[in-house]
Structure 1
Protein backbone atom coordinates (compact mmCIF):
# COMPACT_ATOMS: atom_id res chain seq x y z
CA UNK A 1 0.00 0.00 0.00
CA UNK A 2 1.35 3.39 -0.98
CA UNK A 3 1.90 6.05 1.63
CA UNK A 4 0.09 9.29 0.85
CA UNK A 5 2.63 11.80 -0.47
CA UNK A 6 5.70 10.27 1.19
CA UNK A 7 8.65 12.56 1.96
CA UNK A 8 11.78 12.40 -0.15
CA UNK A 9 14.43 10.31 1.66
CA UNK A 10 16.69 13.37 1.73
CA UNK A 11 14.17 15.07 3.99
CA UNK A 12 14.33 12.08 6.35
CA UNK A 13 18.13 12.18 6.39
CA UNK A 14 18.14 15.89 7.20
CA UNK A 15 15.39 15.87 9.85
CA UNK A 16 15.99 12.53 11.57
CA UNK A 17 19.70 11.94 11.13
CA UNK A 18 21.66 15.16 10.67
CA UNK A 19 19.71 17.79 12.62
CA UNK A 20 19.32 15.77 15.87
CA UNK A 21 23.05 15.05 15.86
CA UNK A 22 24.00 18.61 14.93
CA UNK A 23 25.97 17.38 11.92
CA UNK A 24 26.59 19.71 8.98
CA UNK A 25 26.20 18.63 5.37
CA UNK A 26 29.97 18.87 4.93
CA UNK A 27 30.64 16.67 7.97
CA UNK A 28 28.04 14.12 6.90
CA UNK A 29 29.36 13.99 3.33
CA UNK A 30 32.87 13.36 4.62
CA UNK A 31 31.65 10.60 6.96
CA UNK A 32 29.66 8.99 4.11
CA UNK A 33 32.63 9.19 1.75
CA UNK A 34 30.78 11.29 -0.84
CA UNK A 35 31.07 14.85 -2.07
CA UNK A 36 29.14 17.65 -0.41
CA UNK A 37 27.48 18.27 -3.78
CA UNK A 38 26.22 14.66 -3.95
CA UNK A 39 24.77 14.72 -0.45
CA UNK A 40 23.29 18.18 -0.93
CA UNK A 41 21.46 16.99 -4.07
CA UNK A 42 19.89 14.15 -2.06
CA UNK A 43 19.00 16.36 0.90
CA UNK A 44 17.34 18.88 -1.41
CA UNK A 45 15.36 16.25 -3.33
CA UNK A 46 17.27 16.69 -6.59
CA UNK A 47 18.74 13.17 -6.47
CA UNK A 48 17.52 9.87 -5.12
CA UNK A 49 19.03 7.22 -2.92
CA UNK A 50 21.05 4.72 -4.95
CA UNK A 51 21.70 1.20 -3.65
CA UNK A 52 25.28 2.21 -2.85
CA UNK A 53 24.12 5.30 -0.97
CA UNK A 54 21.61 3.15 0.91
CA UNK A 55 24.49 0.94 2.08
CA UNK A 56 26.56 3.99 3.06
CA UNK A 57 23.63 5.40 5.06
CA UNK A 58 23.03 2.03 6.73
CA UNK A 59 26.63 1.89 7.91
CA UNK A 60 26.76 5.53 9.03
CA UNK A 61 23.45 5.57 10.89
CA UNK A 62 23.17 1.91 11.95
CA UNK A 63 20.04 1.35 9.88
CA UNK A 64 19.21 -1.09 7.11
CA UNK A 65 19.96 -0.39 3.46
CA UNK A 66 16.54 -1.87 2.68
CA UNK A 67 14.78 0.81 4.72
CA UNK A 68 16.47 3.55 2.67
CA UNK A 69 15.67 1.82 -0.61
CA UNK A 70 12.06 1.28 0.47
CA UNK A 71 11.69 4.99 1.24
CA UNK A 72 13.04 5.87 -2.21
CA UNK A 73 10.74 3.38 -3.95
CA UNK A 74 7.70 4.68 -2.07
CA UNK A 75 8.58 8.25 -3.02
CA UNK A 76 9.22 7.39 -6.69
CA UNK A 77 6.13 5.22 -7.04
CA UNK A 78 3.82 7.80 -5.45
CA UNK A 79 5.16 10.44 -7.84
CA UNK A 80 4.74 8.13 -10.85
CA UNK A 81 1.15 7.36 -9.80
CA UNK A 82 0.37 11.08 -9.90
CA UNK A 83 0.87 10.91 -13.68
CA UNK A 84 -0.98 7.64 -14.30
CA UNK A 85 -3.64 9.24 -16.51
CA UNK A 86 -0.98 10.77 -18.76
CA UNK A 87 0.54 7.40 -19.64
CA UNK A 88 -0.37 5.99 -23.03
CA UNK A 89 -0.78 2.33 -22.07
CA UNK A 90 -3.27 -0.26 -23.29
CA UNK A 91 -4.40 -3.19 -21.21
CA UNK A 92 -3.08 -6.51 -22.52
CA UNK A 93 -5.37 -9.51 -22.24
CA UNK A 94 -5.35 -13.10 -23.38
CA UNK A 95 -6.79 -13.71 -26.85
Structure 2
Protein backbone atom coordinates (compact mmCIF):
# COMPACT_ATOMS: atom_id res chain seq x y z
CA UNK A 1 0.00 0.00 0.00
CA UNK A 2 1.50 3.31 -1.06
CA UNK A 3 1.20 6.26 1.27
CA UNK A 4 0.35 9.56 -0.38
CA UNK A 5 2.22 12.48 1.14
CA UNK A 6 2.33 11.27 4.75
CA UNK A 7 2.06 13.89 7.49
CA UNK A 8 5.12 14.81 9.51
CA UNK A 9 4.95 12.91 12.82
CA UNK A 10 5.25 16.22 14.68
CA UNK A 11 2.03 17.33 13.00
CA UNK A 12 0.32 14.18 14.30
CA UNK A 13 1.67 14.86 17.76
CA UNK A 14 0.52 18.48 17.62
CA UNK A 15 -2.93 18.00 16.11
CA UNK A 16 -3.97 14.71 17.68
CA UNK A 17 -2.08 14.28 20.94
CA UNK A 18 -1.67 17.85 22.22
CA UNK A 19 -5.23 18.66 21.23
CA UNK A 20 -6.61 15.54 22.98
CA UNK A 21 -4.59 16.29 26.11
CA UNK A 22 -5.60 19.97 25.96
CA UNK A 23 -1.95 20.76 26.64
CA UNK A 24 0.32 23.62 25.59
CA UNK A 25 3.71 23.00 24.00
CA UNK A 26 5.57 24.46 26.99
CA UNK A 27 3.75 22.16 29.41
CA UNK A 28 4.51 19.04 27.36
CA UNK A 29 8.13 20.12 26.91
CA UNK A 30 8.52 20.63 30.66
CA UNK A 31 6.88 17.27 31.38
CA UNK A 32 9.24 15.52 28.96
CA UNK A 33 12.31 17.44 30.16
CA UNK A 34 12.73 18.67 26.60
CA UNK A 35 13.44 22.14 25.23
CA UNK A 36 10.27 24.03 24.31
CA UNK A 37 11.83 25.60 21.23
CA UNK A 38 13.05 22.27 19.88
CA UNK A 39 9.74 20.55 20.60
CA UNK A 40 7.98 23.39 18.79
CA UNK A 41 10.25 22.82 15.76
CA UNK A 42 9.25 19.13 15.77
CA UNK A 43 5.56 19.94 16.14
CA UNK A 44 5.72 22.27 13.13
CA UNK A 45 7.57 19.78 10.93
CA UNK A 46 10.88 21.64 10.92
CA UNK A 47 12.79 18.98 12.90
CA UNK A 48 12.47 15.19 13.02
CA UNK A 49 11.36 13.10 15.97
CA UNK A 50 14.65 11.80 17.34
CA UNK A 51 15.11 8.50 19.16
CA UNK A 52 15.52 10.53 22.38
CA UNK A 53 12.19 12.31 21.93
CA UNK A 54 10.48 9.09 20.85
CA UNK A 55 11.60 7.37 24.04
CA UNK A 56 10.49 10.31 26.19
CA UNK A 57 7.07 10.20 24.51
CA UNK A 58 6.81 6.48 25.23
CA UNK A 59 7.76 7.00 28.88
CA UNK A 60 5.01 9.63 29.11
CA UNK A 61 2.50 7.10 27.76
CA UNK A 62 2.21 8.78 24.36
CA UNK A 63 2.61 5.86 21.98
CA UNK A 64 5.61 3.60 21.51
CA UNK A 65 9.06 4.89 20.63
CA UNK A 66 9.38 2.43 17.74
CA UNK A 67 6.08 3.62 16.29
CA UNK A 68 7.13 7.29 16.39
CA UNK A 69 10.45 6.40 14.75
CA UNK A 70 8.70 4.28 12.09
CA UNK A 71 6.37 7.17 11.24
CA UNK A 72 9.38 9.51 11.00
CA UNK A 73 11.20 7.03 8.76
CA UNK A 74 8.16 6.62 6.48
CA UNK A 75 7.91 10.40 6.20
CA UNK A 76 11.63 10.80 5.44
CA UNK A 77 11.69 7.99 2.85
CA UNK A 78 8.58 9.26 1.07
CA UNK A 79 10.23 12.66 0.60
CA UNK A 80 13.61 11.21 -0.35
CA UNK A 81 12.06 8.98 -3.01
CA UNK A 82 10.66 12.06 -4.72
CA UNK A 83 14.01 13.87 -4.96
CA UNK A 84 16.43 13.44 -7.81
CA UNK A 85 18.71 10.53 -6.96
CA UNK A 86 22.10 9.54 -8.35
CA UNK A 87 22.16 6.59 -10.76
CA UNK A 88 23.32 3.57 -8.80
CA UNK A 89 23.75 0.17 -10.40
CA UNK A 90 22.74 -2.93 -8.50
CA UNK A 91 25.64 -4.94 -7.13
CA UNK A 92 23.70 -8.20 -7.11
CA UNK A 93 21.25 -9.22 -9.80
CA UNK A 94 17.71 -9.93 -8.69
CA UNK A 95 17.13 -13.61 -8.00
Correspondence 1:46-85 to 2 at 5 A: 46-83=46-83
Q: 1:35 to 1:93 in 2, by over 3 A?
A: closer
What's the secondary structure of 2:60's corresponding residue?
Answer: helix
The two structures have a TM-score, normalised by structure 1, of 0.88
- Give, in angstroms, the shift of residue 21 of structure 1: 1.2
Corresponding position: 1:30 with 2:43: no
Highest RCO, 1 vs 2 (Cα 8 Å, sep ≥ 6): 1
What's the secondary structure of 2:30's corresponding residue?
Answer: helix
Q: Which whole-Å CA distance do the structure 1 matches of 2:52 and 2:91 have between them?
A: 38
* Residues 10 and 43 in structure 1, CA contact (< 8 A), matched pair in contact too: yes
Q: Which has the higher helix share?
A: 1
The equivalent residue for 1:87 is 85
Alignment coverage as a number of residue pairs: 93
What's the secondary structure of 2:90's corresponding residue?
Answer: coil
Q: Which whole-Å CA distance do the structure 1 matches of 2:47 and 2:85 have between them?
A: 23
What's the secondary structure of 2:13's corresponding residue?
Answer: helix
The equivalent residue for 1:13 is 13
Q: 1:61 to 1:16 in 2, by over 3 A?
A: farther
Q: 1:92 to 1:24 in 2, by over 3 A?
A: same
The two structures have a TM-score, normalised by structure 2, of 0.88
